[in-house]
Amino acid sequence: MTTLSGHGRVNDLESGRQRSTMRDVASLAGVSVKTVSRVINAEPGVSEELLARVRRAAEQLDYRPDFSASNLRRADRRTSTMGLMVEDVANEFSSAVHAGVEDAARERGIAVLTASIAGDASRERDAVRALASRRVDGLIVVPSGAADSSVWSEGGVGIPIVFVDRAPRGVAADCVLTNNNDGTRAGMAHLLDRGHRRIAFLGGVARLDTAQERYEGFADALAAAGIPVRPDWVVRDLRNPDDASAAVRTILASDDRPTAIFAAQNLLSMGAFRALREAGVNRSIALVGFDDFALADMLDPAVTVVAQDPRTIGRRAAELLFERMADGSDSPRRLVVPSRLIVRESSLIPPPPA
Amino acid sequence: MTTLSGHGRVNDLESGRQRSTMRDVASLAGVSVKTVSRVINAEPGVSEELLARVRRAAEQLDYRPDFSASNLRRADRRTSTMGLMVEDVANEFSSAVHAGVEDAARERGIAVLTASIAGDASRERDAVRALASRRVDGLIVVPSGAADSSVWSEGGVGIPIVFVDRAPRGVAADCVLTNNNDGTRAGMAHLLDRGHRRIAFLGGVARLDTAQERYEGFADALAAAGIPVRPDWVVRDLRNPDDASAAVRTILASDDRPTAIFAAQNLLSMGAFRALREAGVNRSIALVGFDDFALADMLDPAVTVVAQDPRTIGRRAAELLFERMADGSDSPRRLVVPSRLIVRESSLIPPPPA
DNA sequence: TTGAAAGCGCTAACAA
DNA sequence: TTGTTAGCGCTTTCAA
């Protein structure tokens, strides 16, 4: 076995191979199991002497309490474990949310189980089942939009859930969101202020509220400026950077080019930037993206973004979940973590003189 | 409670609130618990009729097996849960490893608990304890180097561990590594081929084998070319992009500048690039980095890297762990996932004519 | 302050 | 093919 044995520990032989139980500790300390239980759980009412004896025995046997056994018998049935379901743990936004969730969870001694669902409905179902079977105390979910909301009613039964980034339609639940519409309007206002009138829009999976709200923010901003939406400059349902690059190439192929592009998500901004650069127009067509991303400020030109704060979003979601688990009152809460416009260079490109 | 109840399901009242057990299913189906257990675990030898009856009852009650109870009784005591300890889940390398681990784990129905340890020895200890108490079947660890290897002997007792990226000193265990020395030499050979003789080195925490091997690769490459190491151009123990930026600024401040820089880690490459760009020399001093990173190819100039394959590393580590859990033979295995040089533009900058 | 007995939800071992 | 009994490691309940 690669199982590590205790290098240089005194009692290698007794403790090394076999996991010791409370009973082992009890018999070594010469007390009852219940006394050991009291010591391990820091319950009051154990004499100093026994306390010391039990501790020593536990140390000697390298005793580790068994969460599942404890949980099984315990009245509240808490596992001190929560689940986090995201699109893809390797994605910059998801992993920042994850980090925020971990921060909050660690403070409370709660462990985090993660599952990437990759926009796949069946994986979404499987993940819920897997987490439910492991009796997580709660769930934080960035819904993929692939599965309909029934997953959350059938599957989530009995587990408190907090949704992040977007709530599935028709399910009233706690959620932590970004102000998508306002954020997009702020980005658009900035472009309009700089004289842009011909602006293209690159949007994500339209079924998601997030994407929908950002599109509406775009449309609202144009409407407020008295500019009609040009359907040929609006491409939605884009799923990855390559989709976005292709969309930009198509738009650029026309004689009638926009002077600026709004990309509604970080992967789309990256894809758009790539296409602009490959076409050699990265310094002549303006770009604003929703979501910040690493090195956005190091590109040429540095990309202006409407930045979300995914780590804070994750932390708030976890805190909301813990409150939920504790009180369980019946009014779903909706938290908005504001976005902010970070003006860099890509939006400062003026429209060409007509 | 925000706990979701089954929207539109037939048996909301029975199933909604209370979690049902095997006993509930058994009594609803009119069979014994053991029969239900057989059905749930797909054991053979149950008549078609009872099978159907049990399944219907389970469905009706929205029954979910309880992993911890099952695990408690089961002979092999497997929890079908594993742990992953990384520096920081939000880091690009870590999260790619995580994704690879998840890929392999999902195929086997194993859930992944994650913990970020942020190079903090006490967090490393806490995480091991937390995971051990939850009885994970195995552990994949990217050691921070902050804690000494005793964590892995004291703490890891009884749990199979696979180390990734670097193995802690003095512990013989399975690990999955990159060919750090070779990779670095390949990057250096490329720079030397292009005529560079004055090359600076930016290294990570020197205590880690990874960083040490990369430094040795650098030194070896210079030695082979008959070039002495210039101590003022070697900066090690850099922990983040800012450290790297500062180091580059210091190096640039001297009259005697290098013509190229080798950065031994992705965060350091980013920091180095930033400093070069801010000094306006990003197009005149060559740069090669270890580790690829998002948008490296979109920078100006696109950054040449020695790319690791962190997702594959994660997958291989998980597969190695599963083998370990299954067989448990006693020879630690060491897997090397090769890196490869991706030549982009930053290394094609020639040294200025002497 | 301490401990004995029962039982959490499930599966192993065995019996019918 | 089906069911019964015991017990996994722990906490609850209650008695000493």
Looking at CA atoms only, how far is residue A245 from chain B in angstroms? 13
Task: Report residue A81: phi and psi, to 5°.
Answer: -135, 140
Looking at residue A192, what is its pLDDT? 97
Alpha helices by DSSP H, listed for chain B, are 12-15, 22-29, 33-40, 48-61, 67-73, 92-107, 121-133, 150, 180-193, 209-224, 241-253, 266-278, 310-326
DSSP annotation string for B84-98: EEES-TTSHHHHHHH
Regions in chain A scoring below 50 on pLDDT = 1-16, 154-155
CB A87 within 8 A of CB A267: no
Looking at residue B6, what is its pLDDT? 30
Interface test with B, best of A2, A78, A87, A136 (most B CBs within 10 A): A2
Query: Which nucleotide shows the minimum CA-to-C1' distance to residue B70?
Result: C10
**SS3 state at B199:** strand
Looking at residue A1, what is its pLDDT? 29
Read off the pLDDT band of B18 (50, 70, 90).
low
Name the residue among A67, A112, A174 with its Cβ closest to that of B135.
A67
Structure tokens at B108: 């086997």
Is the Cβ pair A294, B270 closer than 8 Å?
A: yes
Identify which of A116, A258, A96, A105 has the alpha carbon closest to the alpha carbon of residue A178: A96
Query: Which nucleotide shows the minimum CA-to-C1' distance to residue B22?
Result: C9
Cβ contacts of B249-253, under 8 Å, gap ≥ 24: B249/B275, B249/B279, B251/B200, B252/B279, B252/B281
- The amino acid that residue B352 corresponds to is P
- A2 or B187, which is more confident: B187
- The amino acid that residue A293 corresponds to is F
Is the Cβ pair B89, A69 closer than 8 Å?
A: no
Looking at residue B15, what is its pLDDT? 34
Is the Cβ pair A114, B102 closer than 8 Å?
A: yes
For A153, the closest chain B residue by CA position comes to B6
Identify which of A16, A5, A8 has the alpha carbon closest to the alpha carbon of residue B172: A5
Looking at residue A18, what is its pLDDT? 66
| Model pLDDT for residues A58-114, shown as the tens digit of each residue | 999 989 999 889 989 988 888 999 999 999 999 999 999 999 999 999 999 999 999
| Model pLDDT for residues B83-115, shown as the tens digit of each residue | 999 999 999 999 999 999 999 999 999 999 999
Is the Cβ pair B114, A95 closer than 8 Å?
A: no
Name the residue among A64, A89, A131 with its Cβ closest to that of B102.
A89
Residue whose Cα is closest to the C1' of D5? B34
Is the Cβ pair B150, A174 closer than 8 Å?
A: no
Read off the pLDDT band of B16 (50, 70, 90).
very low
CB A201 within 8 A of CB A188: no
Looking at residue B105, what is its pLDDT? 97
First to last CA, chain B: 75
Over 50: is that where the pLDDT of B11 sits?
A: no
Distance CA A53, CA A60 (A): 11
Read off the pLDDT band of B4 (50, 70, 90).
very low
Structure tokens at B231: 């101590």
DSSP annotation string for A257-318: --SEEEESSHHHHHHHHHHHHHTT-TTTSEEEEES--TTGGGSSSPPEEEE--HHHHHHHHH
Q: What is the largest CA-CA distance in chain A?
A: 92
All protein residues with a CB under 7 A from any atom of strand D: A 19, 21-23, 33-34, 37, 40-41, 65-66, 69-70, 72-76; B 31-35, 38, 44-47, 49-50, 69, 72-73
Q: Is A258 exposed, middle or buried, given 0-12, 13-18 or 19+ CB atoms closer than 10 A?
A: buried
Task: Report residue B119: phi and psi, to 5°.
Answer: 60, 25
DSSP annotation of A154: I
Over 50: is that where the pLDDT of B335 sits?
A: yes
For B170, the closest chain A residue by CA position comes to A7
Task: Report residue B257: phi and psi, to 5°.
Answer: -90, 150
Q: pLDDT averaged over chain B?
A: 88
* Neighboring chain A residues of B330 at a CB cutoff of 8 Å: 1-2
Question: For the stretch B100-125, what's the b/e string if a residue is b when 16 or more beta carbons lie within 10 angstroms of its beta carbon?
Answer: bbbbbbbeeebbbbbbbbebeeebbb
Rg of the Cα trace of chain B?
A: 27
CA B133 distance to own-chain centroid: 22
Kindly state the helix (H) or strand (E) to which residue A115 belongs, with its residue range: strand A111-116
Looking at residue B148, what is its pLDDT? 61
Looking at residue A155, what is its pLDDT? 43
| Model pLDDT for residues B112-162, shown as the tens digit of each residue | 999 999 878 888 888 988 998 899 999 999 887 666 666 666 445 578 899
Looking at residue A329, what is its pLDDT? 66
Distance CA A253, CA A243 (A): 15
* Neighboring chain A residues of B299 at a CB cutoff of 8 Å: 295, 298-300
Task: Work out whether strand B138-141 and strand B161-164 pair parallel, antiparallel, or are unpaired.
Answer: parallel
Structure tokens at B216: 């040795």
DSSP annotation of B42: T
* Bridge partners of residue A178, in order along the sequence: A337
Identify which of A207, A46, A73 has the alpha carbon closest to the alpha carbon of residue B66: A73
CB B83 within 8 A of CB B317: no
Whole-number Cα distances in Å, A328 to A85, A142, A322? 22, 21, 10
Is the Cβ pair B7, A156 closer than 8 Å?
A: no
Read off the pLDDT band of B223 (50, 70, 90).
very high
Q: Is A113 left (phi over 0), alpha (psi -120 to 50) or beta?
A: beta
Read off the pLDDT band of B3 (50, 70, 90).
very low
- B112 or B4, which is more confident: B112
**pLDDT above 70: percentage of residues in chain A:** 90
Name the residue among B88, B135, B174 with its Cβ closest to that of A66.
B135
Structure tokens at A201: 């829009």
Q: Is A23 exposed, middle or buried, given 0-12, 13-18 or 19+ CB atoms closer than 10 A?
A: exposed
